[in-house]
Amino acid sequence: AQTVTQSQPEMSVQEAETVTLSCTYDTSESDYYLFWYKQPPSRQMILVIRQEAYKQQNATENRFSVNFQKAAKSFSLKISDSQLGDAAMYFCAFLASGAGSYQLTFGKGTKLSVIP
């Protein structure tokens, strides 16, 4: 079984500044994917970024990037030039891709506030 831990229940950032959300995971799987999902007040689950475990290069998507440390089982999300629309709950999620149904295991989430 996999576990995903987000140790920061809440974070805040000034508009235009940079913030990093932490995530650690525990697994015995060798083949897996990691994701960050954003859940704004509308409660829609929106995929922000994904990382394949076999890739050493950190994923980036515009202002969003990850710091993937496989040995440390750490997967943090960096948001640069924060915008008011980034305010949301952010969930880190794990998916084992070796076998099975590819279900997602989520962390408890980090609520990000953006201060104008």
Residues that bind other proteins (CB under 8 A): 33, 37, 42-47, 50, 52, 91, 95, 97, 100-109
For other proteins, which is the closer residue by CB, 40 or 81? Answer: 40
Q: How far is the CB of 12 from other proteins (least distance, A)?
A: 18
Residue count of the chain, please give it.
116
* Of residues 50 and 78, the one with the C-beta less far from other proteins: 50
Q: Which residues of 95-107 are buried (b: 16+ CB within 10 A; e: fewer)?
A: bbeeeeeeeebeb
Q: Least distance in Å: CB of 23 to other proteins? A: 12
Question: Shortest approach of other proteins to residue 91 CB, angstroms?
Answer: 6
As measured in angstroms, the least distance from the Cβ of 32 to other proteins is 9
Q: Return left, alpha or beta for 16; rule: phi > 0 is left, psi -120 to 50 is alpha, else beta.
A: left
For residues 38 and 73, which CB has a smaller minimum distance to other proteins in the complex?
Answer: 38
Exposed / middle / buried, residue 64 (Cβ in 10 Å: 0-12, 13-18, 19+): middle
- Cβ atoms 23, 76 nearer than 8 A: yes
| DSSP conformation class of 58 | P
